[in-house]
Amino acid sequence: MLSVKRITKIFNTGTINEKVALHDVSLKLDEGDFVTLIGSNGSGKSTLLNCIAGVYPADRGSIVIEGKDITNLCEYKRAALLGRVFQDPMMGTASDRKI
């Protein structure tokens, strides 16, 4: 269902603030798989999810969902293929809605 192959994401490339957030990360999930990402602050968990969702473009590698390469697909088009729940409800799609 989801295949992430050798994803690399570098922030502030070529500057003194360059940060390699992901380096050659690969992941393969089949239908029915349940995965939990754990790691310390700054280990790349959110960056990986943001690359899969299209928030950040991957610098290298590929992302494939159900056989469709979505690596260069924009975020709003990827939304038809995947869903996302934010830990902080103020980060979601209705963050400014008054109840």
pTM: 0.83
In a domain, 17, yes or no: yes
- The pLDDT tens digits of the residues spanning 16-41 come to 999 999 999 999 999 999 999 999 99
- Assess if residue 33 is contained within a domain: yes
Q: Number of folded domains in the chain?
A: 1
Can you give the residue range of the structural domain that contains 72?
2-80
**Is residue 21 domain-resident?**
yes
Question: Residues 67-90: pLDDT tens digits?
Answer: 999 999 999 898 888 887 777 766
Q: Which parts of the chain fold into alpha helices (H)?
A: 45-53, 75-78
Task: Give the domain CATH number at 28.
Answer: 3.40.50.300
Q: Are 60 and 20 in contact (CB under 8 A)?
A: no
Answer yes or no: is 88 within a domain: no
- The answer to whether residue 95 is domain-embedded is no
Q: Is 92 a member of any domain?
A: no
Please write the tens of the pLDDT for every residue from 35-73: 999 999 989 999 999 999 999 999 999 999 999 999 999
Residue 55 lies inside a defined structural domain of this protein: yes
